[in-house]
Structure 1
Amino acid sequence: MSILIKNGVLVTAEEMAEKDILLEGEKIIAVKDEFLSGEIPEKTKIIDTEGKYIFPGIIDAHTHYFMKSPPDNVTADDFYSGSISAAFGGVTTFIDYAEQQKGHSIIEAFINRQEEAKGNAAIDYSLHQSVCSLYHNIKEDLEELKDGGVSSLKLFTTYKEDGSMLDKGNWLELLKMSRDLKLLVTVHAEDDEMIDQIKIKYKDREEFPPYYHTFLRPPEVEYSAIKEIGDMAKLLDMPIYIAHLSSKEGYRALKEIKKNRGKIFAETTPHYLLLTEDLLKKEDAQKYFMTPPLRNKEDNEALWEALKDKYISVIDTDHCSYTTEQKFLSSNCLGILAGIPGSETLLPLAYSYGVGRGYFNVKNMVNLLSTNPAKIFGLYPEKGSLEVGTDADLVIFDPKKEIIISDSGQHTAAGYTPFSGFKVKGYPITTILRGKIIVNNNRFYGERGGGKFLKGKESALY
């Protein structure tokens, strides 16, 4: 089937131009100022997008769909519902996590995660591989993972209680192996030793309401972890990527390492840009609970400035959704399930509050939400571009459409959004995945299993 999208403004990281774009099958086959009638294949569907933007498909480079955690918790969004919600937000690709379990190999985790996603995801996907323990033949397994399409690893500097944290004595070895194989290491950066010392101060407390999360994991623990892992990466002359940068202090660490010529890069999320820790004092505080915790307005502003000054390379979501019933099982900040939904609201929030408030222009937004993640995680130019011959992943975006984000308007299985009540101007109206319209005018036309696994190439950061 052919689709001609005409009269719109094509926006890439490099340019904005009024052009027409022709799709055939799964690919973009031509981009021109205007197509003559004789150049349009018979039975082509023509979409008039006057007054609209055409973006490359958005990439949510940090998601946790169908995530299982001890003892028997599972996120509300599985691969199907999570990817449907994402598609309504203009997302055509997500990058999730294969999580190694103690006593098991990274290959086992990768194979199991592929099986869970296969036949369920409604949009395309790739995988990061988390590493929580080393073993005798792990370098050979890392080579096998790279051949299988994994371009990035995840290292936790905290969460030893649930087995996610890699022992500190093994960080340098993992970094060396990753450098040699040119695998990008991404880091959840919070200093676990500092957190333990802080907890000792509160050892006599019986209750830890949600707001205490900000006391137990203050910005200083982010600063310390970023500095330590960043300096280690600089010593090895390799790139390092910080996940979900949350604070002014974390940004300060990033700048210090960059000033010292370290190859450090970072992502942030809408909740660290737009929400504040005051929400953790509300009666329904659990709905706004994630790790790292929310910060204050000064931190929000620092991260916007970091985006403006191009210290942050990617905006994604860390989508990790639970229903309110799951969230309210505990009111103790040491027991509340951490994570919030976010994939569906990524694009409209970035446009309305980033472009709309002048922190970056629309081309830079495409870079942050699509092109940069595609390059960093080895998916470019098939994803993150509008180049002829690449996958026909596109978003038709109405810059004038105004809505108030609401729980009822979302498609996540969580049943709520932490951004309820936020006003946005600019919204995706059509999502196209490899030449097929999967969302149009708030209706889903895709299918379970319509997404495919994407093999990542070497990161552009090497």
Structure 2
Amino acid sequence: MDTLVRGGTVVLESGSFRADVLIRNGKVAGLVQQRKSTPFTGQVIDAAGALVLPGGVDAHTHIGITFGEFKTRDDFATATRAAAFGGTTSLLEFAFPEPGEDPGEAVERRISQASGRAVIDFGFHAAIVQRADADALAGIERAAKLGAPSVKVFTAYRGLMMLELGDILAVMREAARSRSLVMVHAETEAIVERASGELRERGIADARHHAQARPAIAELDAARSVLRLARESGATIYLVHVTLPEVAEEIGKARTAGVRAFGETCPHYLLLDESVYTRPHGERFVCSPPIRSAEAARGLWRSLGSELTGVHSDHCCFDRAQKKVHASDSTRIPPGLPGVETRLPLLISAALSGRLPMNEVVRLCSSEPARLFGMPGKGSLLPGMDADLIVVDPRRRGRVNGLHMSTDYSPFEGMAIRGGIETVVAGGQLLVSGRRGAFRTLHPPAPTEGVSRPIGRRLFLAGLAGGAGVIVFGDGLPSGLRSWLEGPLGELSPGDGFHFYSVTGSIPSWDRARWRLTIDGLVDQPLSLGIDDLLAARQQRVKADFHCVSGWSVSGVSWLGVSVPTLLERAGVRPAARALRFESADGAYVDFLDMTTAQQPEVIVALRLADAPLSPERGAPARLVVPFYYGYKGVKWLRRITAVDSARTGYWEARGYDADARIRH
């Protein structure tokens, strides 16, 4: 049966607009113009006056794990149930190997533990702990083939998790070969051991001094070390639970230097400060790294959306009794805080309070993790995506209480909160309901209709999961809706088989009389060419299949335009030029080609597609075509080509895509 989420304001990472969401066969089938007179005979979910967001993606949870002498109180049934009440419809958990297991075997074991129990979609990160021997390294690729997009390592917890830096470098090299992302818990263990030892000698090792036991310099030192290793190895690196703006700054520096570096933080580092350790029962707030100063928290807010591209829970469901056992020694208190249910409500509340835009909440908590960790169909509500969504009443006020996690406390207990998640849909099925402040009910799927499933790996780009297109009623989508379409997945345009992509959510306008393509940089004769200048040049036809890394292709595409070598010859490229920088008129998208690649005769600035002028959606008036590369190298709405001394990091490479975009079949 079709479902219509009616009357709400849809929020995507690129903006918001009023539209109904049509769901069919577990997918978003269309964004529908709101018309009171439109008849609909299927299931209707009332979203009048509410916000409709993509379901949350939590990429950092710890469910049913043992840490030292303690085991978390939850399992996949209870944890995913709590996640659903908190608006999270997909999560990524860790597969820590048991003795004798390699990473691939650990992933297989954890998939079997979650299958049939989770009520939302799930996936796993691989992990290597204590020793990176040949079997462990070989297991990285096996884990990747099972769907694990990443492998986690620790510079902390000697004897339990920690790897020496030499082992981490070996992991990074293997991960780069397997195209897996490396997640790092970054704290230098030697610094932590010295600091905690000194506190113990002074008899002040309790929770009140936890922040001193794991000092900020331990995190900063480890972050700098592993970022250098990532640059050496060519690996993509992701720093988990960043607590310091200085670490975020190091991520930004590494990215500028060409490292594919990313970072996340957590709600407790944004919304709490180290004074929590002086409260009664401060042991309940012990986590690693510790909660830092209020000043550090303010710095993290400023880093969101730039150096830090995710906010995740780092959920560890210990209870008060477990935290109390070793309250006098913070190094023995089980580290971690419960948060899988509170993450998204807290960020939504922050947006409604004006701390960040609501579309940034979507980006940080849904879209960006879905892209980075290769989760097909997640993180957006554009047609063809999985029908995972939440309905939020922005008018509600309340406090954090009455939670569903398998623990007896929350670090945010009693905190005032704005907005309320009232309805959750996962895979097209109603999972949580209860509008207008009524008691919310979980609707678990029947065993034969399970919502949850392991999430397959589609590393570097979350792609179209099915062949759904846009379905509209009446006169179709509002005319302004097209300008809000977001990357990486947009509408399926009728007729030509291409999907529409825009990283800014808009299509640049252009005027034929004033438009110019600039060619500058390390050239003898800078050029400023109008559209008529390009059409008057010798035209070259390139016919090739077009491939997108998200999985779709268009066969036998015919492009017509001017070869890049012809333009370079006219401009007189200097010997110092080793690469070309291509800039889009959207103001955000740039990419690079090394000069050897750019000089290939089939690399063209295309002006026509199938013997017709390029349409706005396809990049009018001019776009780059590199037929032997995946489509993300083909810069649309091209306005500038600059000869430079070296190739740097392009738009999608900075977000985890492979710099080598060559098509290999």
Q: TM-score, normalization: structure 2?
A: 0.66
191-200 or 321-330: bigger deviation: 191-200
Residues 182-220 of structure 1: per-residue CA shift (max 9 Å, x gap): 100011111112222324434524451112221121111
1:62-461 residue pairs with structure 2 within 5 A?
A: 62-71=60-69, 73-132=70-129, 133-162=131-160, 164-202=161-199, 204-206=201-203, 208-307=205-304, 310-331=306-327, 332-354=329-351, 356-358=353-355, 360-380=356-376, 382-406=377-401, 409-441=402-434, 442-447=440-445, 450-460=451-461, 461=656
The equivalent residue for 2:43 is: 45
Structure 1 distance, partners of 2:117, 2:291, is 32
The equivalent residue for 1:21 is: 21
Structure 1 distance, partners of 2:137, 2:191, is 30
Residues 39-71 of structure 1: per-residue CA shift (max 9 Å, x gap): 74x4x0112312111111101111111112223
Structure 1 distance, partners of 2:90, 2:39, is 31
Structure 2 distance, partners of 1:47, 1:104, is 46
221-230 or 132-141: bigger deviation: 132-141
Residues 338-377 of structure 1: per-residue CA shift (max 9 Å, x gap): 111111111221122245233x311121010100010011
Structure 2 distance, partners of 1:203, 1:130, is 31
Please tell me the residue identity of whatever aligns with 1:13.
Answer: E
254-263 or 94-103: bigger deviation: 254-263
Structure 1 distance, partners of 2:28, 2:319, is 39
Structure 2 distance, partners of 1:96, 1:145, is 13
Structure 2 distance, partners of 1:16, 1:2, is 23
Please tell me the residue identity of whatever aligns with 2:359.
Answer: K
Q: In the alignment, is the contact (CA less than 8 A) between 2:57 and 2:370 conserved in 1?
A: yes
140-149 or 92-101: bigger deviation: 140-149
Residue identity (%) = 28
Q: In the alignment, is the contact (CA less than 8 A) between 2:180 and 2:236 conserved in 1?
A: no
Please tell me the residue identity of whatever aligns with 1:8.
Answer: G
Structure 2 distance, partners of 1:179, 1:305, is 30
Please tell me the residue identity of whatever aligns with 1:220.
Answer: I
Q: In the alignment, is the contact (CA less than 8 A) between 1:222 and 1:249 conserved in 2?
A: no
Distance 1:103 1:193, change over 3 A: farther
176-185 or 27-36: bigger deviation: 27-36
Query: What secondary structure is seen at the aligned counterpart in 2 of 1:213?
Result: helix
Q: In the alignment, is the contact (CA less than 8 A) between 1:248 and 1:298 conserved in 2?
A: no
Which one has the largest radius of gyration?
2
322-331 or 244-253: bigger deviation: 244-253
Deviation at 1:76, TM superposition (A): 1.4
Please tell me the residue identity of whatever aligns with 1:27.
Answer: K
Deviation at 1:236, TM superposition (A): 2.8
Q: In the alignment, is the contact (CA less than 8 A) between 1:5 and 1:46 conserved in 2?
A: yes
Q: In the alignment, is the contact (CA less than 8 A) between 2:127 and 2:153 conserved in 1?
A: yes
Structure 1 distance, partners of 2:137, 2:325, is 41
Please tell me the residue identity of whatever aligns with 1:374.
Answer: A
6-15 or 56-65: bigger deviation: 6-15
Structure 2 distance, partners of 1:63, 1:117, is 13
Unaligned segments of structure 2, at least 5 residues? 435-439, 462-655, 658-665
Query: What secondary structure is seen at the aligned counterpart in 1 of 2:90?
Result: strand
Return the structure number with greater relative CO, CA threshold 8 A, min gap 6: 1
Q: In the alignment, is the contact (CA less than 8 A) between 1:23 and 1:435 conserved in 2?
A: yes
Q: Structure 1 or 2: larger helix share? A: 1
Please tell me the residue identity of whatever aligns with 1:378.
Answer: G
The equivalent residue for 1:55 is: 53
Q: In the alignment, is the contact (CA less than 8 A) between 1:59 and 1:93 conserved in 2?
A: yes
Distance 1:450 1:329, change over 3 A: farther
Please tell me the residue identity of whatever aligns with 1:110.
Answer: V
Please tell me the residue identity of whatever aligns with 1:353.
Answer: A
Structure 1 distance, partners of 2:141, 2:39, is 46
Q: In the alignment, is the contact (CA less than 8 A) between 1:267 and 1:313 conserved in 2?
A: yes
Query: What secondary structure is seen at the aligned counterpart in 1 of 2:332?
Result: coil
Please tell me the residue identity of whatever aligns with 1:14.
Answer: S
Unaligned segments of structure 1, at least 5 residues? none
Q: In the alignment, is the contact (CA less than 8 A) between 2:4 and 2:22 conserved in 1?
A: yes
Deviation at 1:139, TM superposition (A): 4.3
Q: TM-score, normalization: structure 1?
A: 0.93
Deviation at 1:26, TM superposition (A): 1.4
Q: In the alignment, is the contact (CA less than 8 A) between 2:195 and 2:215 conserved in 1?
A: no
Deviation at 1:451, TM superposition (A): 1.6
Please tell me the residue identity of whatever aligns with 1:93.
Answer: S
Please tell me the residue identity of whatever aligns with 2:459.
Answer: E
Distance 1:90 1:137, change over 3 A: same
